[in-house]
Structure formats: structure tokens, C-alpha cells
Amino acid sequence: MAFQKFEGGSKKDFSPRPMIKGNWKCSGCNVEITELPFEPAADRPIYCRECWSKKRAEKLEK
Ligand SMILES: [Zn+2]
């Protein structure tokens, strides 16, 4: 059985994060994004969920 270890965070704390509404375009696939779970930085590309997880996967491969 695989058991993922999370460092420095308890799973108890499960407060729903407020979604930030807006109108962006994904820098990866150009899909429209109307809400984000975090405040987008103006100087950074914005990615949709799919592209975001792809990016994360790429990083983890290294
Ligand atoms: Zn995308």
C-alpha cells in the first residue's frame, strides 16, 4: 500500500479556500479560466488545472 507523506501539514485543517473569480486564459492550452484557487501573479503565466498538473508532473520528473 502506498502511503504518501506530507511534511509540515496536518490534514485536519480542511477549510475551503475562497475561489478568486476573474477572466483569464490558460498559457498552456488557451482555455478560459473563470476562477482560481489562488491570487494570480501578473508577471506569471496562468494555467488551467490540467496544464498545472502537467507542469507539476514535469517538475517532479527531474
Ligand atoms: Zn491549460
Structure confidence by residue, pLDDT tens digits, 15-56: 777 899 999 999 999 999 999 988 888 899 999 999 999 999
**Looking at residue 59, what DSSP letter applies?**
H
47 in Cβ contact with 58 (< 8 Å): no
Q: What does the pLDDT read at residue 3?
A: 66
Q: What does the pLDDT read at residue 11?
A: 63
Task: Give, as residue ranges, everything with CB less than 5 Å from ion ligand 1.
Answer: 26, 28-29, 48, 51
- The Cα–Cα gap between 45 and 8 comes to 28
> How many A from CA of 1 to the centre of ligand 1?
32
52 in Cβ contact with 40 (< 8 Å): no
> How many A from CA of 39 to the centre of ligand 1?
17
pLDDT higher than threshold 70 for residue 1: no
Torsion of CA 61, 43, 35, 60, to 10 degrees: 10
> How many A from CA of 60 to the centre of ligand 1?
18
Cell numbers describing residue 50: 490540467
